Amino acid sequence: MQYQSTRDSSVSVSAAQAISQGISKDKGLFVPKSIPDISAELDALCKLDYIGRAKKVLGHFLTDFTEEELSACVEGAYLGKFDEDEVAPLSKVGEDAYLLELWHGPTCAFKDVALQLLPYLLTTSAKKVVDGKKIVILVATSGDTGKAALEGFKDVENTSILVFYPEDGVSPMQKLQMTTQEGGNVSVCAIEGNFDDAQNGVKSIFTDPALAKKLSENGMMFSSANSINWGRLVPQIVYYVSAYCDLVADGEIKAGEKINVVVPTGNFGNILAAYYAREMGVPIARLICASNQNNVLTDFIRTGTYDRNRDFHTSISPSMDILISSNLERLLYHLCDNDDKVLSQWMTSLTEQGRYTVDEKVKERLQSVFWGGYCDDAATKETIWEVFAKYSYLCDTHTAVAVNVYGQYVAKTGDHTKTVIASTASPFKFSGSVLDAIDPKAVDADDFVTAGRLSEISGCPIPRALRELKEKQPRFAGRCTRDTMEQVVLGMLGM
């Protein structure tokens, strides 16, 4: 399996090269040249556990990894790291819907599923293509990626990691999770600005040839733990395949029966993984893209025009406060039949004018698979309350956006196809907003007191990783601006 760049189809690299490098030199993203078809294997996959399914699915994409290497990666990532070794369990809510709980890992958000595996994929890849070089991971985070990446890469030999987070764009629990991070190879820095500023800054550091040369002379190279890295996306395909298999194995659906999938979306990585699962032959009918009031994707899916020229809103679902969804570039590349010229024009227009409009063919293809919807903070809270009142189920703010948009979809279309809704974080990561939705008077200024009350009301335990934060001291207090990010990077590397 070879990988192309979305901005230059003539680029052709192995999976190991794509994963080590993170992003193509032309600023394009790596995509598989063809998408493997697993429809004939689904019956067999249904009989395996999560780890077995992961090995099979990854094997189709990482053809330059040996079977032993893949096994070591997958087992290292998932054995003993998730609550009761359940990486992606389903919870039924109502007649037709299932929440796919992706937050049972060490940092309580779905990012763990990919970021527990990525360090293994990356170090195995680096051995193949750039042996001996130290990998420097730069991360821009809207809150959850940062912590999950720090936890995945801490003390991994021959790597160091630096995370930038928007100063006022993360929850108190998320901030504390990052600033108290342990490990000898980790750094964390706040940036004045929002996630898009952090992500743009990191992207331009990555693709600066002078910096790359400087690093290379010092025996280092940059890579990315953001979902622009193929190694971040490919582990996420597995849980959609696995969810389908679980529904069949549990008798909830018949083999071959179609399902819909709803994903609370920010950078478009998670829903793109569901798209790949669909293209691989998993019987998925519709992909429902749920946004908060930063509804640039809703408008795009409905009109074919992507326009980031709008106010940026800070919401109670901060991991979705994004106006430039990087991974949309991969989807559009596939939808325009790998036309790197057209795609590059749209992306240039996005950089220069902040907008682009796709052609009719691409818009039709987009709308034949995707449905977009959004809701604001008030509706998100109402949904948290409703789900709790109806099903005694506590969902976080991001998951609630997805549940709300799913409700809108059913009301609009009358489509009662069985549906998997991605549940992306533990409610205790956003205790203040979640408790505010259920019993506003109980919210305390101290997030730990609030979490304790939420636990009492719901009967759900606070995850240990969050409980233990209370005892930890912050280690990182650094701040920078978009213009001084590069200095921070060089400073960390002692250059």
Give the interface with ligand PLP as residue ranges (CB under 6 A).
109, 111, 144, 227, 264-270, 319-320, 398, 424-425
Give the residue with the Cβ less far from ligand PLP, 28 or 266.
266
CB of 146 to ligand PLP, least distance (A): 10
Decide if 27 is catalytic.
no
Q: What is the DSSP string of 281-301?
A: T--EEEEEEEE-S--HHHHHH
Q: Residue 112: CA atoms inside 13 Å, Cβ hemisphere, count?
A: 25
Q: What is the DSSP string of 147-212?
A: HHHHHHHTT-TTEEEEEEEETTSS-HHHHHHHHT---TTEEEEEESS-HHHHHHHHHHHHT-HHHH
How many other CB atoms sit within 10 Å of the CB of residue 485?
24
Q: CB–CB of 161/153 below 8 Å?
A: yes
C-alpha–C-alpha distance, residues 354 and 247, integer Å:
41
Give the residue with the Cβ less far from ligand PLP, 11 or 237.
237
Q: Which of 81, 111, 203, 381 is catalytic?
A: 111
166 beta partners = 191
Give the residue with the Cβ less far from ligand PLP, 123 or 227.
227
CB of 327 to ligand PLP, least distance (A): 7
CB of 483 to ligand PLP, least distance (A): 25
Give the residue with the Cβ less far from ligand PLP, 124 or 327.
327
Q: CB–CB of 486/207 below 8 Å?
A: no
C-alpha–C-alpha distance, residues 389 and 410, integer Å:
20
CB of 236 to ligand PLP, least distance (A): 8
3-state secondary structure at position 223: strand
Q: What is the DSSP string of 111-161?
A: HHHHHTTHHHHHHHHHHHHSTTPEEEEEEE-SSHHHHHHHHHHTT-TTEEE
CB of 357 to ligand PLP, least distance (A): 22
Give the residue with the Cβ less far from ligand PLP, 89 or 269.
269
Look up residue 158 and give its two tokens.
């021959």
Q: CB–CB of 398/265 below 8 Å?
A: no
CB of 415 to ligand PLP, least distance (A): 23
Phi, psi for 382 (deg, rounded to 5): -60, -40
Token look-up 């609009």 returns: 412
Give the residue with the Cβ less far from ligand PLP, 163 or 492.
163
Closest CA to 453 of 440, 465, 466, 464: 440
CB of 265 to ligand PLP, least distance (A): 4
Task: Give the DSSP H or E segment for 10.
Answer: strand 8-13
C-alpha–C-alpha distance, residues 198 and 482, integer Å:
7
Give the residue with the Cβ less far from ligand PLP, 7 or 398.
398
Which letter does DSSP use for residue 463 in this model? P
Active-site residues, by number, are 111
